[in-house]
Chains A and B, each alone.
Chain A
């Protein structure tokens, strides 16, 4: 190292050792700047919720056509129907169980003036399915379209006498003291 270099280093060191003059008001100014910054309260999630609520609660002008209004009403009605269970809720019949087959019911009643077929398929309404006398004889017949399922039924003779079908299985779960029969329609 030369004498010139030593002299330069000596001058730099002496310059660095010189005390720095700081403005006595600097602390005050820094604190004032900090006080001006926005205050953060609470957690980030709470703040986001507050912002979202403000966005949701802010009034807006929405233009809607009458058709769209009807659409919304239809969706609302469907929702209410679904909740009330009137909509095709579970369980629904599979496609194979929706096809109907015609079934012929026959009973021999030589002395009857009229015979009705009543059952689960006609609301047990004696007026709904009157049976027809075949060729003026003692055989009465009715044809009913049935979907796959199990149906209880009986014949009502002259509006007062109940008769089970002697050719069909008897309904074991008869609870009203009169005989009934069962027909089961398969899906295949």
Chain B
């Protein structure tokens, strides 16, 4: 009996030691400036403990390291992203995927309100990664947030991801041709909504080459 117990305790101790070493700091963080490694590691651990995806935080830190940003810049950027991921999770719900949370965080950073994220989640049964990304991209193209949000919300319920990408390209094309960004977004949304209403299956559309 004692032998069995000691065996179990030993195996458990070994397992715990293995887990403890595995749960240590991400080795990729060694690329950061020394002063940023511990703070970023703590932020990553905190995010993980809160159920938030840690990989976007690691990637943001690595981006800063590769771009040779100062340590405090990197820590601040990771901290901001962690806060945005938390806000995105609050708006999208705890079932949101890491991709959705990343896209949601970017949309919030671009100026979208949490209410817009929540409306998108309710309006669409498919993942909301693409609508959120298109929303962010439209704002980056100069479309006012209100116009961009209204357009994306109009399309979110029925348009597939490919349709949303096509919609974004149409807006960018019209802007490049001189249309005011808000007007371009509204017009393209009306066209896309009409197309989506006609097409029963958006996937039947010819696949376009994979380009951003």
Q: Which residues of A contact B (CB under 8 A)?
A: 61-64, 66, 69-70, 72-74, 76-77, 80-81, 84-86, 89-94, 96-97, 101-106, 118, 120, 123-126, 147-150, 152, 156, 162, 165, 167-173, 175-178, 180-188
Contacts and interface: CB of A to CB of B under 8 A. Distances in A.
Contacts of A170: 140
Interface string B88-110: 01000011111111110010011
A178 B101 CA distance: 24
Contacts of B103: 149-150, 184
Nearest to A92: B97
Chain B, interface residues (CB within 8 Å), range: 35 or more
Contact of B77 (A69, A76, A118, A175): A175
Nearest to A123: B62
Contacts of A150: 99, 102-103, 106, 129, 132-133
18 contacts: A69-B7, A72-B12, A80-B19, A91-B94, A91-B96, A97-B99, A104-B210, A125-B66, A126-B66, A148-B99, A149-B99, A149-B103, A150-B132, A176-B73, A178-B67, A182-B140, A184-B165, A188-B126
Interface in B154-180: 160-162, 164-165, 168, 172
A90 B94 contact: yes
Interface string B58-80: 11001111110100011011001
B133 A89 contact: no
Interface centre among A165, A170, A188 (most CB of B within 10 A): A188
Given A86-B48, A104-B209, A169-B168, 18 more contacts: A69-B8, A72-B11, A77-B15, A80-B23, A84-B48, A85-B51, A86-B23, A94-B127, A97-B127, A147-B99, A148-B99, A167-B212, A169-B136, A170-B140, A175-B69, A186-B165, A187-B161, A188-B160
B198 interface: no
Contacts of B66: 118, 124-126, 156
Contacts of A147: 99
B195 interface: no
Interface of B: 1, 4, 7-8, 11-12, 14-16, 18-19, 22-23, 28, 48-49, 51, 53-54, 56, 58-59, 62-67, 69, 73-74, 76-77, 80-81, 89, 94-103, 106, 109-110, 126-127, 129-130, 132-134, 136-137, 139-141, 160-162, 164-165, 168, 172, 202-203, 209-212
B51 A89 contact: yes
Given A80-B16, A176-B69, A85 B127 contact: no
B98 A172 contact: no
Interface centre among B63, B69, B127, B165 (most CB of A within 10 A): B63
Contacts of B99: 93, 97, 147-150
Contacts of A84: 19, 23, 48
B44 to A, nearest CB: 10
B151 to A, nearest CB: 15
Contacts of A125: 62, 66
A177 B69 contact: yes
A184 B121 CA distance: 18
A176 B67 contact: yes
A97 B140 contact: no
A182 B133 contact: yes
